[in-house]
Every structure is written in structure tokens, then in C-alpha cells.
Structure 1
Amino acid sequence: MMDYQYRRQAFQNLHVEQEEAKNDLKLKVRKSKSMLATIAAFFSFFHHTS
């Protein structure tokens, strides 16, 4: 019985870690997209001024 509870706990921990990793990745993607948008806007502005 103890083995089952241990495995269940480990599985739950794995699931939580997977969710955290997904959220972390989403946050990083959102940040990098906004950085890319900023850089693109800067370059297009720079291109029009020269």
C-alpha cells in the first residue's frame, strides 16, 4: 500500500513540475515576443528616418 501512495505522490509532483515548466515557457515566449516586437519597431523606425 505504501508503494502505491509513494508512486501516486511522485506522479502528482511530476505533473505539477510539468505545469510549472509549461507556464515558465509561456512566460519566456511572451517576453521574447515583446522584445522582438520592440526591436522590429525600433528598426523599422530607424529605417524610415535614414
Structure 2
Amino acid sequence: MNISAFARRLGISQPLIAAYINGSKIPSESRKKEIEKELHRIGKELLEVSL
């Protein structure tokens, strides 16, 4: 997964999430929680994968 795909999953623009990553913008507490929740969702999806 790349940053564009992650941004789409969150429903925010790729430049905004990139700004959070490089530190030029700081997300609000509610946005931080949204990001964390989505990361956990992705982690759960990955745990469900079986080969």
C-alpha cells in the first residue's frame, strides 16, 4: 500500500497526509485517531490473509 491508497481509505487528500508525514502540518487529535483506527483496520486485514 502506498500513501495515495492510504489517503483514499481515509477520505483525505494525498498532499495532506504527505504533509502530516513530513511534519509540515500537524493533524488534530480527532484526525490522529482516524489515522490510527485505519492503520489498525489495515493490520487486521493483513492478519486475515492466509497463503
Q: Give TM-score scaled by structure 1 length.
A: 0.45
Which of 1 and 2 has greater Rg? 1
Structure ranking higher on relative contact order (CA contacts 8 Å, 6+ apart): 2
- Structure with a larger share of its residues in helix: 1
Q: Give TM-score scaled by structure 2 length.
A: 0.44
